[in-house]
Structure formats: structure tokens, C-alpha cells
Structure 1
């Protein structure tokens, strides 16, 4: 962007750990703590029942709104599904085309609390498509900014935008208020922004005007203060890799090197409540979920929490946070096609009340966490 009200340049690589900046806030990504002193509080499960459109193939994002759950299936269904809190189908959005209200592929969907509307950002068109929270098409607006939305937080009369800078060579963070550029920072860095990650859910609202965000493959979580338009590193992610991402990029085949080595990369699906931060990091065996305690500075494995507190289940990830600050995870059956809640009697009772649950179905888990001193 030609006009830059604020320019922050960081040259940070995976595993570099700027310990001089935030000594007390190191998040150990690889080395996790056994969840013995961690309990799942008030867990509740929701079975997503059949719908007349198509079986949900993947769940990339969950937005809880009042009594509804907005489910994004971006990769397979290319659709948005709307369910109520009982798991009953309400509606879906699957507007494929080039006309008003239509898209070819969805980049993401967002909820505007100020207008009570859903906003779909397509991959293919520079426009925003607006829907009611029950899925009724309202209007569309074209935009001229040279932006590629990776993630977004809607604010009063504006947006905090995480820009996919590898697509346009521009800054990673943009703040527009009343269609005016108010803030721009983190210039495009080819070694850190040409990422193999789908940069989904990388900004999370905190208390007041503060937001937590990650950018590309930088090993830092930043706090953005909207009121003062300032940004600062708040947590360093210690991946304990033997090779930096820049070194990885210099290999003749970076993807093969990643597949053949024990490397953790990036942080996506970033959410927080009062006491915990959750995110996922990429490994050659798939995404690894992490829960970080703001109180004890301990890092826990999401997969271990589920296995130790619920049963032998697969977890697609923590993909949302509710209005009452509970995390929402996506569960699937284990490798034997079984649904095992044997370590939580209350959840087993809930599951037993469901109609038949198929091995390809999804169950949502709403829960909070508590550490026992």
C-alpha cells in the first residue's frame, strides 16, 4: 500500500524465539504437559443431523450465534450450513455462479455483531455477500482494495483484516474504518508469508479493544490494541525445530523435506477465552492442537485432553468459541469407526440419546477448561 500510517518490520523465523522481547510468555509448542490437573467443565455434545443438501465433508469454521451454529465447509461442500443448538438443520448457502449473491469458492464467512449479518468473502471475486443469520440473501458489495482476505474481525464501521500478502505483496495487517485506511503493518516477507498453511482463524478478540493474532509463519502471537492502534508481541511460540523455515525454503524440495522430518509449522485456528488460548500447528502427520494456560504458562495437547478426559476419539480441532466463552471442538469417530465417550459418563448419556450416528458424521463438543492447582 502506498500510504502507510504505521510500519512495523519484523524478521522472525520459525524457532528463533525472541526471548529478549517477552521472556515470561514463551509457549512451548512441542513440549506439552500431561493433562492430569486439567478438567473439562460443563461439556455438551451436539450431533449434526442429516440435511437435504449434502453431507458435510469438512468443517473449517464454526460461528455460534444465539441459538444457531454457522458451519463452513469450504474445501469439499463449498457451502455454509446453518444448524440450531440441537443439531437440527435450518438452512444452507450454496450459491455457485457469477451473478448477484453468487461465488465460485468461499474464502471464509464472518458474523457482524453490529449489523446482525453474515458476510461471505469469495476467493474469486472482490466482493462481500451479505446474508441474514438464517441464510437469506440480502445484498452484495464490491470492493476495490488490493486485498486478499485470510481472516477478519468486524469492528464498528470497519474491519481488522489479515491480508494474504503472498497474493499481492502488500502488508499483512490492514485496518479500515469508514472506508479509510487507519493502520497498515507487517510488510510482505516471502520467507514467512509463502506458507503451506491455510491461514484460517488467525485473529481472536480478547477483552475490550484488544485482539490476539498470528501472522504467516512468524513464531509470535501479537496483541493489537484497536483503541490506540498499537501492536506488540505478547507470546513467543517455541517450536523446538532443528531447521528454520527460511532454511527449509532453501532446500531443493521444501515440501518433501517437511514431509520427511519432524517439523512443526505455524499457528492457525486461534481462539481464546479468559484463561486459555487454543491453536493448531502443522506437522507431517497432520494438525496438532494446543491449549495454552494464561495462568500456569503450561501447554497441553488437545488430542491428549480428548483421549484422557472423553475417550478414544478423533478430533478435527477447536474451531470456535461461543458467546459465553466456551470452546467448540469438532469430534469424529475413532479409527475403528467407534464413538467412545467411556471416560465421561455424562457425555456417554448424552450420546446414547442421539439417533444413529454414522462413522462419517460430526459431533460438536462445547466445553470450558479448569486447571486444578
Structure 2
């Protein structure tokens, strides 16, 4: 997987019989719709298996239209927005070495971590950081996989679903990491999230699903693993396959919510069994990529547009009382904190560090509880902090670096936000 700046490019091809299938993220958004017209209209989208039923894309009762005023970029004192913070060291063992954290989910006192490309494994830890299990069987035997493309949890029945795109199957495990069964992929998708009642939200990227015209050229599908289609939404045209930039996680789960981000649309949707609702829209007040440019995005003009316009690249966290977004501007990234209660926003590229722990508020990988952001840092970053710490900061830095080596597993950081 390549990286282009802060955006990951995904254009892996697989040969199946005589077809070369390319997976490249794309979307078809509602760029020309104004918020007013959104409130006055409902988009009806075809769904189901034999006869498509109607599914609504409407406005969520929790909808937030967030004004992104980049002129208000200010220095934030972290103690003004952070109520408390703590860290957790993940146990390091010879058979449990995590190279990177691509995805992390908490449930039932356990931490599920995917390292897709280095360890090529899913690790299960207790919520105290004790190593419990590693799922890393490479191969084509039952319970094995050729790659880990994504994973999701059924938190009711306590199932772990692992997407093996190259192997064209979904492996199912219990929370102890024991293999239960495999399901063949009913069609091509590259990311998924369990909703409920055996229904999943699936991001197809721009995969070719010509064998199933009801979902072909649709970016988002909700379906069962049996192949029963509930809905197909966000259609795209073939030309959009020329655009190969995307966010690595178009589907994210926060608590009971499954959220979907159509790339570079400045919008986030909540996906349910029977409805998809607009949850967030970011208003750049004329500083964002114009809608007419979005309709013809390709790799060449997107690189040029980044030099002149701001945009939302899809890294965010949804909490009970807050939301947190990474915004891209021609002058670099900005962090945007939003209070759902006060409707206030705080935008910054610079921090007034009042505690060494605050150095690690970066792109969120998860949330925990109601209002706690979760990030991570590799052991080298923590050891570097210790080397640079002076004065009273050395106390916290030494505590962070205690018993760490360059081979230690990543450290998790937890930040509980407070009202502003």
C-alpha cells in the first residue's frame, strides 16, 4: 500500500479467471445540494434482492452542520479541553509483536487490534493490556487467510468477522479467537461494518460487480453475508475509477453507530438497516474544493486543488458530546474540536503543551466510553520524548518510558474531553 502525502492510495489488482479486478475507492456524493434542499428532499434508492425496495437517505435528528472557519486558527491550551488522560502499555511478547495499529476496537473488556501489513495478524488483549490471543494463520486451510483487509465485531453475539479479500471469504471467530466458520464473499467489497440482525454495511470501493447489476457501480451496499441485498447507495460512473485517492477507513463504528464517509464529500452518514441518514456536513465557507471540481476529480487535478483549497479527508471521531475532525488545508492539517452542546468549534494547528501526555493527541484510532478519544504512539516516539523532556515533564516522561525498548509494542493514549 502506497501513501500519497496524508492520503493513502489503494489500487491493488487481483486476477480472477480472465478478469483483472481493480479496487480503487470512489464515491458519488450530493455535492450540488444545499443544506436547505436536503431538509426538503428525500432521496429514494433502490434496494433488495429480486425487487429493490425503497430506502431513505434523510437527515438524522442528530444532524450537525459545522462551520469551518479557518481564520479562527488559534493556539489551544490542552488543559482547557481535556478533563483527564491516561495511557496503557500493551504487553510485549515474542509471539505478540505489533508493528502498526491499523484498526482498534473495544468490547466486553477486550481490545481487538489489526496489524494488516507488518505482523499480518489480529491481536486480542484484555483491557488492562495483557496479551490473550493472536490470529495469524496464513494459508488457505480452514481458519486461515491470505490477507486481513478489515475486521468488524458483532457485539451482541460476540463474533469477530475478518475480511480476507484476496481469499474471497469472511472468517468468523469468537471473542477468544477460536475459528468458527467461513463465509464466501457474496460480491466484492473491501471494508465492512456489522450493523445488526446479520446485516453489514459494505464499502465496495470501485470494484466491478457486473455479475450483480443491482449493486454494481454503487459505493455503499448493505447486505447479509448470504448475499441478500438490503440496499445499494451512492452510485458512481466508470470514469470515477480514474481517481485513486481515498481514506483508509470509509466505514467506522462508534458505539452503536455505523458511519460512512463518501470520500472528499465533506459529509458523514449514519448507516442503519432501513435508512441512511446525513449526520455531519462541514461547511468551508467558500474555502473548500468547489462542487464542480469534485464532479471531475482525478489524480492530476486533485493534487493541484490541494494547493488552493481545504477539504475533509475522512479522519474523525464521533463521541457522545463532541466530534473531532482532521481538516486538510494548503498550509497543513488542522484539528477541529466540535461541541454538540454549545455548537462551538476550536480549530488549531498549534498546541500549548501543558503535559507530556498531550504530545500524543494525533489522528484518533478509536473512542472508548462516551467522550474519550484514543490514539497510539510507537515506543520510539515515547523514548524520544523522554530524551527531550526537561524539568517537571521528566516525571511523566520517565513513567511513560519505563520498561520500554525500541521493540516494545505501541502505547495507547486516552483523552477524556470536557465541555468548552
> Do these two structures clear the TM 0.5 threshold for a shared fold by scoring above it?
yes
Instruction: Return closer, same or farther for 1:162/1:301 CA change in 2, 3 Å cut-off.
Output: farther
Secondary structure of the residue aligned to 2:396 is: helix
Residue 368 (1) aligns with residue 410 (2): no
Q: How many residues align?
A: 355
**C-alpha displacement of 1:288:** 6.1
Q: Quick one: distance in 2 between partners of 1:164 and 1:306?
A: 39
**C-alpha displacement of 1:271:** 3.0
Mapped contact 2:196–2:273 kept (Cα < 8 A): no
Q: Which residue in 2 is equivalent to 1:95?
A: 137
Instruction: Return closer, same or farther for 1:342/1:258 CA change in 2, 3 Å cut-off.
Output: farther
Q: Quick one: distance in 1 between partners of 2:384 and 2:236?
A: 44
Q: Quick one: distance in 2 between partners of 1:285 and 1:131?
A: 45
Q: Which residue in 1 is equivalent to 2:342?
A: 296
Q: Which residue in 2 is equivalent to 1:28?
A: 68
Q: Quick one: distance in 1 between partners of 2:242 and 2:312?
A: 11
**C-alpha displacement of 1:176:** 2.2
Q: Which residue in 2 is equivalent to 1:53?
A: 95
Q: Which residue in 2 is equivalent to 1:348?
A: 396
What are the equivalent positions in structure 2 for 1:75-114 lying under 5 Å apart?
75-114=117-156
What are the equivalent positions in structure 2 for 1:226-245 lying under 5 Å apart?
226=272, 228-232=274-278, 234-238=280-284, 240-241=287-288, 244-245=293-294
Q: Which residue in 2 is equivalent to 1:157?
A: 198
Instruction: Return closer, same or farther for 1:300/1:363 CA change in 2, 3 Å cut-off.
Output: farther
CA RMSD of aligned residues (A): 4.1
Mapped contact 1:33–1:299 kept (Cα < 8 A): no
Q: Which residue in 1 is equivalent to 2:322?
A: 276
Residues 250-305 of structure 1, C-alpha deviations (whole Å, 9 max, x = no match): 73x755x478x366554434431211123445679997654332233344468756
What are the equivalent positions in structure 2 for 1:1-373 lying under 5 Å apart?
10-12=29-31, 18-21=34-37, 25-28=65-68, 32=73, 34-36=75-77, 38-53=80-95, 55-145=97-187, 147-166=188-207, 168=209, 169-176=216-223, 180-189=228-237, 190-191=239-240, 194-200=243-249, 202-205=251-254, 211-224=258-271, 226=272, 228-232=274-278, 234-238=280-284, 240-241=287-288, 244-245=293-294, 249=298, 251=300, 255=303, 257=304, 261=307, 264-280=310-326, 290-300=336-346, 304=350, 307=353, 310-311=356-357, 313-314=359-360, 317-323=363-369, 326-332=372-378, 334=381, 337-339=384-386, 348=396, 351=399, 354-358=402-406, 361-372=409-420
* Stretch of structure 1 that moved more, 91-100 or 336-345: 336-345
- Name structure 2 gaps, 5 residues minimum: 1-26, 40-63, 210-215
Q: Quick one: distance in 2 between partners of 1:309 and 1:155?
A: 41
Q: Quick one: distance in 2 between partners of 1:53 and 1:302?
A: 40
Mapped contact 2:193–2:258 kept (Cα < 8 A): no
Q: Quick one: distance in 2 between partners of 1:254 and 1:100?
A: 43
Q: Quick one: distance in 1 between partners of 2:392 and 2:153?
A: 33
Q: Quick one: distance in 1 between partners of 2:140 and 2:155?
A: 28
**C-alpha displacement of 1:311:** 5.0
Q: Quick one: distance in 2 between partners of 1:341 and 1:363?
A: 18
**C-alpha displacement of 1:314:** 4.8
Mapped contact 1:309–1:343 kept (Cα < 8 A): no
Q: Which residue in 2 is equivalent to 1:5?
A: none
Secondary structure of the residue aligned to 2:384 is: coil
Q: Quick one: distance in 1 between partners of 2:391 and 2:241?
A: 41
- Name structure 1 gaps, 5 residues minimum: 1-7
Instruction: Return closer, same or farther for 1:17/1:176 CA change in 2, 3 Å cut-off.
Output: closer
Q: Quick one: distance in 1 between partners of 2:264 and 2:417?
A: 28
Q: Quick one: distance in 2 between partners of 1:29 and 1:95?
A: 48
* Stretch of structure 1 that moved more, 99-108 or 31-40: 31-40
Give the TM-score, by structure 2 length.
0.69
* Stretch of structure 1 that moved more, 297-306 or 36-45: 297-306
Secondary structure of the residue aligned to 2:125 is: strand
Instruction: Return closer, same or farther for 1:316/1:246 CA change in 2, 3 Å cut-off.
Output: same
Mapped contact 1:46–1:365 kept (Cα < 8 A): yes
